[in-house]
Structure 1
């Protein structure tokens, strides 16, 4: 026996190896409206099939699989939404269906090039032409919206007044912060291509008067001000080590002493057991476009060199982690 006293079993290997079967059935169930069909209450396979317009055997297979995975319950042959599916797949809150569509139609086929990536270290060829770009963008922004909500549930925005959102990809994080704190004003310093959509999104959310949007490339941006809260969301994995160090130094230059930094991304940790979601995204980012999920220890070193002192790490459900740091 190696590394543990647990008796050897093939279960873990088989569960991992057939994981794509679960994913494909989840994508299919979402795409054909199986979860939405159960929003009004439990249905047996025949009634569910009639409601989604599919053969009963399809409703039964998908219903049984989703119940085996905990997204549905199955009692006396009737399928009912579990709490997670009701909240995130059936219109009960943030609908993750666009994210699942992205995974099914963009990410999953792209992973067929992973063998090439492993053998060469190079990303695959990403096809986001035409309508595929809209699918890509909608999925990524939906996933960002989830991250923003999870962060707002985990972090108290109340003590802050001036927020710098530097180099991010989505306005959702700052919008959730302003929703939680009516005194908070946000300055977005985003890539120039994001100025128009971010300005529109913030206005649509009702926070236009509490926001300023500046267009500057992230690696060149030199934000100015006296910010007591700084967000750097989904930036680290997109840039090299030297660029990230400089971005963090410029963020520190714009922050008052004692300000808080929220650095959100996926990280490879040194914990006893690596969190799977971060390690899986290391492969996703590499095969998609060659970007990097960095070791957390390396990122912490950049923070210290830039004048930030790490004080906490937040693990967000189904989302990246956040390194919390204070301006020295």
Structure 2
């Protein structure tokens, strides 16, 4: 009997074409299982501001260690792994930033992803250590955030939502509305561009007391001081301010399980004027799979508080159960979309 070749766990090269033609190897599985090592190394690189330290002329590991204030052996280990990840390019004994690292991780490009990296490192990653519990129970597993974690979270949310907020202000005509209620509006990322575009509009932002207090402080001396009122309240237990003919709920629905969403929609129905409208902005599933850029959303929202990415037809059903009439799904640049609803007559 011919001797069978031993299955090798680590192979010299990962050639997808060769692998497709022959028997499978464990390379891809190994890379996925060890992916956290790449992530944590990248998080460390961001913490050390490693990509900012790599100038146009490139750096040696000695220079990198000096600029990042880390041991040379650590600089070498990080640089080697970042080369494998494609974020650094080896040029003899020097390292240079790859184009995307220079654009998004060095602080010199058009878009700075470092706040998002800090959130994933300090808030998301520790939470995902209990991922099996969350997937098993459909309960959130994120612990109470420290002040530093809260700052990282808010910075990441502002970064991720800024474009969608600007898109919404331009895509939906608020000209026919007079008073807007921004439910769970955070630090005003969505409502501020709307107010800037529609000077006749007044708005009330409702969020937790500490968030509302910060919004009040931020707007006290600015042009929105008389047009934006921040109210500290719990969306589920406190009375919501009434008299608004438009209610905006942006990137909030995905944080809650279905039964809580229905409860929130019922409370919002009681707060809207008879001729009002409800605007739900979120990362909706419109078919079997979410948009590729939102593929991690379902897991992240579950970890945070038991949420999910929801189907549009699910939301339409919950609207009907809570006194609303689904009007339409309006496109926004993906992965976001705008669901419009109107109050059904009582």
TM-score (norm 1): 0.75
Output the CA distance in 2 between the equivalents of 1:75 and 1:111: 36
Tell me which moved more, 302-311 or 201-210: 201-210
The answer on whether the counterparts of 2:134 and 2:140 sit within 8 Å (CA) in structure 1 is: yes
Assess, with a 3 A threshold, how the Cα gap between structure 1 residues 81 and 126 changes in structure 2: closer, same or farther: same
2:46 equivalent in structure 1: 30
Alpha-carbon shift at residue 138 of structure 1 (Å): 1.1
Alpha-carbon shift at residue 196 of structure 1 (Å): 0.9
Alpha-carbon shift at residue 165 of structure 1 (Å): 0.8
- Paired residue total: 311
Paired residues for 1:166-245 under 5 Å = 166-179=183-196, 184-203=201-220, 207-219=224-236, 220-228=238-246, 230-245=247-262
RMSD (CA atoms): 3.7
The answer on whether the counterparts of 1:199 and 1:213 sit within 8 Å (CA) in structure 2 is: yes
Deviations 1:259-287 (A, max 9, x none): 561422x55x3635444665534333434
2:121 to 104, 112, 124: 104
Alpha-carbon shift at residue 27 of structure 1 (Å): 0.4
The answer on whether the counterparts of 1:42 and 1:80 sit within 8 Å (CA) in structure 2 is: no
2:328 to 298, 310, 314: 310
The answer on whether the counterparts of 2:166 and 2:193 sit within 8 Å (CA) in structure 1 is: no
Alpha-carbon shift at residue 29 of structure 1 (Å): 0.6
Paired residues for 1:94-173 under 5 Å = 95-118=112-135, 122-124=139-141, 126=143, 128=145, 133-157=146-170, 159-161=173-175, 162-173=179-190
2:336 equivalent in structure 1: 321
Output the CA distance in 1 between the equivalents of 2:58 and 2:200: 47
Matched, 1:295 2:286: no
Q: Which runs of 5+ in 1 are unaligned?
A: 1-5
Output the CA distance in 2 between the equivalents of 1:206 and 1:63: 47
Alpha-carbon shift at residue 155 of structure 1 (Å): 3.1
Assess, with a 3 A threshold, how the Cα gap between structure 1 residues 125 and 81 changes in structure 2: closer, same or farther: closer
Assess, with a 3 A threshold, how the Cα gap between structure 1 residues 154 and 18 changes in structure 2: closer, same or farther: farther
The answer on whether the counterparts of 2:255 and 2:304 sit within 8 Å (CA) in structure 1 is: no
2:60 equivalent in structure 1: 45
Q: Which runs of 5+ in 2 are unaligned?
A: 1-19
The answer on whether the counterparts of 1:171 and 1:202 sit within 8 Å (CA) in structure 2 is: no
Q: Secondary structure at the match of 1:13?
A: helix
Q: Secondary structure at the match of 1:172?
A: coil
1:3 equivalent in structure 2: none
Paired residues for 1:252-291 under 5 Å = 254=272, 257=275, 259=277, 261-264=279-282, 266-267=283-284, 269=285, 271-275=287-291, 278=294, 280-289=296-305, 291=306
Higher gyration radius (CA):
2
Alpha-carbon shift at residue 218 of structure 1 (Å): 0.8
Output the CA distance in 2 between the equivalents of 1:302 and 1:277: 26
Output the CA distance in 1 between the equivalents of 2:153 and 2:52: 22
